[in-house]
Amino acid sequence: MECKILDGKKVASEVRERIAVMVKEIRESGKVPPGLAVVLVGDNPASKVYVGQKEKACKEVGFESFLYHLPEATTQEELLNLVGQLNEDPNVHGILVQLPLPKHLNETEVIEAIRPEKDVDGFHPMNLGKLVAGLPCTVPCTPKGIMHLLEYYGIEIEGKNAVVVGRSNIVGKPVAHLLLQKNATVTICHSRTRNLEDITKEADILVVAAGRPHFITQHMVKKGAVVVDVGINRLESGLVGDVDFDGVRLRASWITPVPGGVGPMTIAMLLENTLEMYERFS
């Protein structure tokens, strides 16, 4: 059995092309285009790379991109004031505050300050609550991208055993609920899970967001499983995922590469969320 690639780069490119066509039509009609505001506090190298990628993607599809790069010493009050201004700005349809923030700032308070209808990341408690309840909401970009990728390649979810390794509010919990909504039987594992290997071996669909390089190895994966690697770890050898790609692909039926898998999908879904917010305003 040959393992096939869940090519996030290819699928994301198609999403971006579709959005670019729609934005071109919006601009040609004389309307204000979708606008995304990105707030970066400090000089975290990884965050600067991510913000650069998001800004470039915005320009490619024709969005207005508003970048606010604040100094490391920015106070909570200053950051909240900026968020408040962006909430009121009619040209800004989506607001993204790049995480992690410097340690002296309260991330929860900042996320809650963003209006839910402009919360392009889908991290606001109101959006997460609606997601859990199965109500229409802004879905966090990475989980949304994972589901889009599975759907694109015709991966059957209903009735399957899905195991999610990682329980963050950004990936683990939301993707577990999205899989549940598609009628998978879902297990969430984390750092305190006992006998992790016994559980991952039962997974028809394995989503790994553990933040540990090469954490999932070949002997932890069921033959024929679909493996989605959310991890992005920077080693001297380059970028690697949370899954030992070379070993696991010998057992999996489908697998996402790192880079080129989930990462491009996250940015594509950020653009899609921004467009959806814009359409709600229009």
- Has 167 been labeled as part of a binding site? yes
> Across the chain, how many H-helices and E-strands are there?
10, 11
Give 28's contacts (C-beta < 8 A, 6+ positions apart): none
Active-site choice (7, 54, 173, 244): 54
Instruction: List the one residue out of 24, 35, 26 whose CA is nearest residue 65.
Output: 35
Is 155 marked as a binding-site residue?
Answer: no
Concerning whether 59 is annotated as a catalytic residue, the answer is no
- Is 121 considered catalytic here? yes
User: 166 among the known binding-site residues?
Assistant: yes
Residue 85 falls in the annotated catalytic set: no
| Token pair listed for 236 | 């001297």
**What tokens appear for 268 in the block?**
């594509």
Q: Is 232 annotated as a binding residue?
A: yes
Catalytic site residue from 7, 121, 204, 244: 121
Kindly name the residue from 7, 98, 118, 229 that is annotated as catalytic: 98
Which helix or strand (DSSP H or E) is residue 30 part of?
none
Crossing angle between the packed helical segments 262-281 and 141-152, to the nearest 10 degrees: 110
Count of C-beta atoms within a 10 Å radius of residue 67: 14
Read off the tokens for 109. 């308070």
Residues serving a catalytic function are 54, 98, 121
- Binding site, annotated residues for NADP(+): 166-168, 232
- Binding site, annotated residues: 166-168, 232
